[in-house]
Amino acid sequence: MVIAMRIKMQGFIVFDYISQFPAAQKDLVQWLSEGKLQRKETIIKGGLAAAPEALGGLYNGINTGKLLVEIKADEGAGSKL
């Protein structure tokens, strides 16, 4: 079918453009902050207790874009990082 339909497939390897990464990263950050690029995220609330459910959901395709599990530190606990 590929030959009969004269399909052309072409790709690239990201590492071929590694020298352009710093400029691209700067542009992407700027575009995100200006709203020119938008990202989609699915955020699962419930801390680490929700992580197993979120992992199962990841394999079942419940997410749009990046799947995140929201983890908040306790109000009274100090950060140990």
- pTM for the model: 0.50
50 CB-near residues (< 8 Å, 6+ apart):
44, 69
pLDDT recorded at residue 39: 86
Each of the 81 residues of the chain gets a pLDDT tens digit; together they read: 878 899 988 898 999 999 999 999 999 999 999 999 988 999 999 999 999 999 999 999 998 889 999 998 765 555 555
pLDDT recorded at residue 17: 94
SS percent in the chain: helix, strand, coil, step 5: 45, 10, 45
Tokens of 21: 């990464």
